[in-house]
A and B are shown apart, each in its own frame.
Chain A
């Protein structure tokens, strides 16, 4: 396959995924627009029947029947997926919420952290200590500290409307806090790297036209540095999508949690975890695809690292 057909296949698959995911969420939030909330869009039973029928038809035909057996297995998996995907969709929604909130809030914290790390004097050490401590300890331990050791959960419980309608309950917000703090430390490091990659002459030139130091950082250095950091953000989105699964351990009903709950109900661990893996993969590919697009949109002509100049190498 050529590069462009691969890309078309990927975009097509993602389009199907999001069409389904969007329809699923709308349907379930608004109490069953197309079908009853939480019910499959199409009845999986006929597919399951077809699978069983095929399998019975070729039973005992030996090697000849094998390819038909594969089709039967495929149909079996399909009917299974159709049955449980609605459950996983609800979990995937929380995965998306966690990822997006943590990335955005994390960015808001990361920009000043990075600036302090590079340009600060006292704040340099504060930022450095925060970044290194967070990056040097496991995310799951951080979540446990927030959830079990601090009264965050109780504070969130006091906030009105939390947990009602489509507003997620308090544990989700504890997780958002945890992922935000974690992500801020990583994003600060990415941005620091990009700031240091920018010619110091840029800041000197900014000062020479009369901008203050902070203005120079704000209007000249950061706009360039943030563009350079985009490839790292792609990694960060991917990282958060995957590691948001850890929220399952502080009772958040995200994608992994949903798959595990379903698996305990029917003991089909392999099928459900593989199904979850496929959904994670779709989310991860969506993240990289979107970031690719963003990178193209904000590219500065002639500035390396922002266009797709590097891609010509392969």
Chain B
């Protein structure tokens, strides 16, 4: 924080941004952490939810589906605000992780449901014909294929969560955009430079994640493709 106060003397605007680079780096670290924990939480909740939506009975589906619809129909800003202001989850970083994670779960469940449903019915049937129980068939035959097919869906999901960490600004999490805003209020003439710098960092992050997932997708592909 010290460097922020030291920089109060007039500086060229790009110079100002460069001088505060450490501040951006910290913000980037927090944005990345927030993304990572949210995606993990989303996976832990979203995978079982997706399985329930694909295979569940009327009661389990009757619970999971409407909850998913409600979460997906509510702005992430409102979800973050409810978590932090209404439920009083603290610190703000935890509130943002929970909100982004639960929302991500609602979307990941759809990725997994779609992937599961894209696995041909014959796979389940053949597994059952060999004598596997339904649960074993899901675990050893359907899910290994469904998880591979869900990888491309994560490109989108990662990008959305990463970008939406910026909305944690609303509850004061010191992530990238919040820090940019703080810098901007220190030197208002540097508004363009500060926000463009932050945007550039976000862009580099989303771009790298997308390429990374493409590489991952090639790595986990079944040789010869799906038949």
Contacts and interface: CB of A to CB of B under 8 A. Distances in A.
Asked whether A and B interact, the reply is: yes
Interface of A: 132-133, 135-142, 144-145, 148-150, 238, 241-243, 245-246, 248-249, 256, 259-260, 263, 269-270, 273-274, 276-277, 280-281, 284-285
Given A136-B159, A136-B203, A246-B167, A276 B73 contact: no
Interface in B78-101: 78, 81-82, 85-87
Interface residues on B, range: 20 to 34
Given A141-B166, A141-B202, A149 B81 contact: no
Q: Which of B159, B195, B203: most chain A CB closer than 10 A?
A: B195
Contacts of A144: 177, 180-181, 184, 191, 195
Given A137-B202, A137-B203, A273 B86 contact: yes
10 contacts: A137-B206, A141-B202, A145-B199, A149-B191, A242-B73, A249-B170, A256-B81, A260-B81, A270-B82, A273-B78
A142 B180 CA distance: 12
B209 to A, nearest CB: 10
B177 A141 contact: yes
Contacts, number: 105
Interface string B186-208: 00100110011011001100110
A140 B169 contact: yes
A260 B207 CA distance: 34
Contacts of B163: 137-139
B17 to A, nearest CB: 12
A10 B184 CA distance: 46
B195 A277 contact: no
Contacts of A270: 82, 85-87
A284 B163 CA distance: 21
A256 B78 contact: yes
Say whether chain A's binding surface is mostly helix, strand, loop, or mixed: helix
Contact of A149 (B159, B192, B202): B192
Interface in B141-170: 159, 163-164, 166-167, 169-170
A238 B77 contact: no
Nearest to B198: A141
A270 B86 CA distance: 4
B199 A142 contact: yes
A245 to B, nearest CB: 4
A269 B85 contact: yes
Contacts of A260: 81
Contacts of A139: 163
Contacts of B192: 145, 149-150
A252 to B, nearest CB: 13
Given A149-B196, A263-B85, A277-B74, 20 more contacts: A135-B159, A137-B163, A138-B166, A138-B202, A140-B167, A141-B166, A141-B177, A141-B180, A141-B198, A144-B177, A145-B195, A148-B184, A149-B191, A242-B74, A245-B75, A249-B169, A249-B170, A260-B81, A274-B86, A280-B73
A137 B199 contact: yes
B70 interface: yes
B76 interface: yes
